[in-house]
Structure 1
Amino acid sequence: MYALLFADTGLSGAQISSLFALWSLTGFALEVPSGVLADRFSRRLLVACAPLLAGAAFALWTLLPAYPSFAVGFVLWGAGGALASGALEALVYEALAAAGAAHRYPRLIG
């Protein structure tokens, strides 16, 4: 669906591919730093902020439908995904551990 949206705005296949590559690289590059943030700050806050970043990306795409704003939006979207992934998994583990059910973690997350 996203590829169709971007193609409809006149982006080439190479530009669309570069946006998805940027999203992947952003998520990969921010995975460890977001884990550090999750260890230092509230995991709940990070999980709550993640969809705000994605929402900002979608708003940017809607308001400024051009390649540069799409690129910034993909960085925001990738950053939001990185924030949510580690923090959410840690929250799930901590909740299970507090309930004495840490052994269920691999089945729930896996």
Structure 2
Amino acid sequence: MNKDYSRAIPAAWRDVSAVFAALGDEHRQRILLTFEAGERLNVGQIAEVSTLARSTVSHHLKVLREAGVLSAQRQGKEIYFSVNTHFLQKAFARVSDYLETRL
């Protein structure tokens, strides 16, 4: 048993922890799955196909952006979101590496 991490997540895992926390909500998972490869969407486009109110979608987008799951880019008055693929690949590679060492 490794007791080193029983009280705190190591710094190298904080981003992974934030991703898991953000994706722990089914609504946020559905928002993430709304994006096609390379697609950029604004809150209105996502709310249009969602069962959630626009303000609720905005809240979930903020959580996903703060966790690094989505990137945001302002274009005029709109903010467009896209999947932060590079960040997610690095985070999940860290999880995969951890699992590989346990085999």
TM-score under structure 1 length normalisation = 0.27
Tell me which of the two structures has the higher relative contact order, counting C-alpha pairs closer than 8 angstroms and 6 or more residues apart: 1
In terms of fraction of residues, the more strand-rich structure is 2
Greater Rg, structure 1 or structure 2? 1
TM-score under structure 2 length normalisation = 0.28
